[in-house]
């Protein structure tokens, strides 16, 4: 029987990109995001192209009760959820101390508190099944404190990585796997207006490499591996002035 993957934030960017990649591999998909009309278009595309089963539901991950309701509804409809990818997030963020607390607060709440809700809901399902694969999408900006618009964003993604590791520690002697993914710069709708970033890849390439890394169920993966694996190690030890240049 085909396995099922649940992806949050699946209406655009790497969420939609990963849905396409996993559909191609024959997985059934539980896709959710705020924009249902986009999900419905994606559902039609994937079902007709790959003959898989796709269920789409509206989910705003900042409505925490809804996270639990939607995840449980997916489980009820599919029977088993084999992998849950905590991907929903925002790329907003402003320089600290410039009067933009509301934007930074919303960034941290969406990227971290909402991720916590998704993890709670996911692990509850996996504990009941005694199986499953939790995938957390962090960011290379989680490696060190970042300047400018990345400060609050990077901090939220570092928190996500720490949360994932804590869950992995908790579940280390169980059949439940936990993977943390650190994507480098992937050009998506989320950041299409931004200046060209170092070592960036397009959405299709990024999504393909993400799906490939996730399939291996590693403890952690840097995507693309080159140059981000060595850079990730370097970022931890380089002087902050040099790390700043990656922001």
Angstrom distance (rounded) from CA 135 to CA 170: 15
Angstrom distance (rounded) from CA 2 to CA 145: 41
Name beta bridge partners: 84. Answer: 6, 134
Run of H or E residues at 7: strand 4-8
Q: What share of the chain is helix, strand, coil (3-state, %, to 5)?
A: 55, 15, 30
Q: What are the tokens at 41?
A: 């278009």
* C-alpha distances out from residue 33 to 54, 61, 80, 174, Å: 14, 8, 20, 30
- Is there a contact between 118 and 88 (Cβ–Cβ < 8 Å)? yes
Residue the block writes with tokens 């990818």: 85
Choice among 27, 50, 64, 153 that is catalytic? 153
Q: What are the tokens at 40?
A: 């419905």
Q: What is the DSSP string of 16-74?
A: HHHHHHHHHTT-EEEEEES-HHHHHHHHHHHHHHH---EEEEE--TTSHHHHHHHHHHH
Q: What are the tokens at 233?
A: 């190690």
Based on the residue annotation, tell me whether 153 is a catalytic residue of this protein.
yes
Which are the catalytic amino acids?
A: 153
């Amino acid at each position: 029987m085909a396995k099922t993957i649940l992806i949050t934030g699946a209406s655009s960017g790497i969420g939609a990109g990963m849905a396409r990649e996993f559909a191609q591999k024959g997985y059934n998909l539980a896709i959710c995001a705020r924009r249902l009309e986009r999900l419905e278009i994606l559902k039609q595309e994937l079902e007709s192209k790959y003959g898989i089963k796709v269920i789409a539901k509206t989910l705003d991950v900042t409505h925490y009760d809804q996270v639990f309701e939607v995840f449980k509804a997916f489980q009820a409809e599919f029977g088993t959820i084999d992998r849950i990818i905590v991907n929903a997030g925002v790329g907003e963020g402003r320089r600290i101390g410039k009067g933009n607390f509301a934007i930074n607060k919303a960034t941290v709440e969406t990227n971290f508190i909402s991720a916590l809700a998704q993890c709670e809901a996911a692990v509850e399902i996996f504990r009941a099944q005694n199986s499953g694969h939790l995938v957390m999408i962090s960011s290379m900006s989680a490696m060190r404190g970042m300047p400018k618009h990345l400060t609050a964003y990077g901090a939220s993604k570092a928190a996500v990585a720490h949360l994932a590791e804590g869950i992995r520690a908790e579940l280390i002697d169980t059949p439940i796997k936990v993977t943390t993914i650190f994507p480098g710069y992937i050009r998506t709708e989320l950041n299409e207006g931004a200046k060209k970033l170092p070592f960036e890849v397009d959405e299709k390439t990024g999504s393909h490499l993400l799906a490939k890394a996730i399939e291996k169920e590693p403890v952690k993966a840097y995507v693309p591996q080159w140059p981000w694996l060595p850079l990730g190690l370097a970022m931890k030890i380089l002087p902050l002035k040099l790390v700043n240049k990656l922001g």
